Amino acid sequence: MYGNEIAISRFYNQTGDDTASETWAELAANRSAAIHAVMWNETYSSYFDYNLTSSSQYVFVPADNDTAALENSTAPAGQQVLFSVSQLYPFWTGAAQPYLKNNPLAVREAYSRVGAYLDARAGGIPATNFKTGQQWDQPSVWPPLMHILMQGLRNTPATFGEDDPSYVEVQDLALRLGQRYLDSTFCTWLATGGSTSETPKLQGLSDQDVGIMFEKYADNSTNRAGGGGEYEVVEGFGWTNGVLIWTVDEFGNQLQRPDCGDLQAAHTTQKRDVQSAVELHVRDGSRVKKFGKRAKRSV
């Protein structure tokens, strides 16, 4: 809603209606202040949902089997501090208060867990740090959310100069996210049969295996699709390709050719007992009907 109010304000400004433009800009500013007052948590430098029933922020969730020290060191026993990409939306939309979004140090602190997750896991940033078996939680990494994280960082102005250490770190983190996204999309594509004149197809793959771009990826690998939820992971994929094009355009030659390591071919046309890039979550396998040309993928 903040973003819509800002967009309307700008549209009115373009038509020369300054009064209407200022009205909508004021609405957006009021909304930003309200979001900050209710959802911003100074202790964790993050936004949290507000629970109307308990009249408190929704900060903690049950700890799972890979909870990191940074997530439970300040949480009650058996719990962890919730992470969700949506906590950083205000830096993407601009809804964060000026003293936050215009201060590279504040942005760096708000994104500190993102950097820690990149250090701890091989893949990208999952939608949340909470394992529920559903697709919008860990371990699924969604391309639009990776874009939102990167754009939020790229929005940060060099308020104190481009040599400001915090500004440099913020931009470096954006590049790290871009590189990790490139690694995930490229290595999974390669594992499923992708090839170019400079990148030969992996041994053991057939001519029918031509490389797959998935709707989501895994946070614990750069060569595996995401999973969980009510349907089989989808191939394609529009937003995956779109975010990849944006990433390459945004970072250009700063990106490095992905190093996929000792990558093994993922046979997408026959069932295998080993893990592959086309991995179907066990919960999916119990309730979805197989369909399409990839119906016999590995589980």
SS (H, E, C) 249-283: HHHHHHCCCCCCCCCCCCCCCCCCCCCCCCCCCHH
pLDDT at 262: 84
* CA atoms of 177 and 172, how far apart (whole Å): 9
- Asked if residue 191 belongs to a domain, the reply is yes
Say if CB 95 and CB 2 are below 8 A apart.
yes
pLDDT at 187: 96
pLDDT at 273: 35
- Asked if residue 72 belongs to a domain, the reply is yes
* CA atoms of 217 and 223, how far apart (whole Å): 8
Compute the C-alpha angle 18/22/26, nearest 5°.
175
Please report which residue ranges of 95-164 form alpha helices under DSSP H: 98-101, 104-110, 112-120, 143-154
Say if CB 268 and CB 294 are below 8 A apart.
yes
- Asked if residue 8 belongs to a domain, the reply is no
- Asked if residue 290 belongs to a domain, the reply is no
- Asked if residue 78 belongs to a domain, the reply is yes
Domains identified in the chain, total number = 1
Say if CB 178 and CB 150 are below 8 A apart.
yes
Say if CB 267 and CB 213 are below 8 A apart.
no
pLDDT at 268: 55
Say if CB 67 and CB 80 are below 8 A apart.
yes
The domain in which residue 248 lies consists of 42-264
CATH number, domain at 210? 1.50.10.10
pLDDT by residue for the chain (299 residues), tens only, comes to: 999 999 999 999 999 999 999 999 999 999 999 999 999 999 999 999 999 999 999 999 999 888 877 788 889 999 999 999 999 999 999 999 999 999 999 999 999 999 999 999 999 999 999 988 899 999 999 999 999 999 999 999 999 999 999 999 999 999 999 999 999 999 999 999 999 998 999 999 999 999 999 999 999 999 989 988 778 888 888 999 999 999 999 999 999 999 998 887 665 554 333 333 444 455 554 544 443 344 334 43
- Asked if residue 140 belongs to a domain, the reply is yes
Sign of the Cα pseudo-torsion (289, 292, 293, 294, in order): negative
Rg of the Cα trace of the chain? 21
- Asked if residue 70 belongs to a domain, the reply is yes
* CA atoms of 24 and 6, how far apart (whole Å): 7
Q: How far apart are the two ends of the chain, measured CA to CA in Å?
A: 41
Enter the DSSP assignment of 198. S
* CA atoms of 248 and 240, how far apart (whole Å): 12
Tokens of 153: 């960082």
pLDDT at 267: 56
- Asked if residue 206 belongs to a domain, the reply is yes
Residue whose C-alpha is closest to residue 148's, from 94, 104, 97, 186 = 94
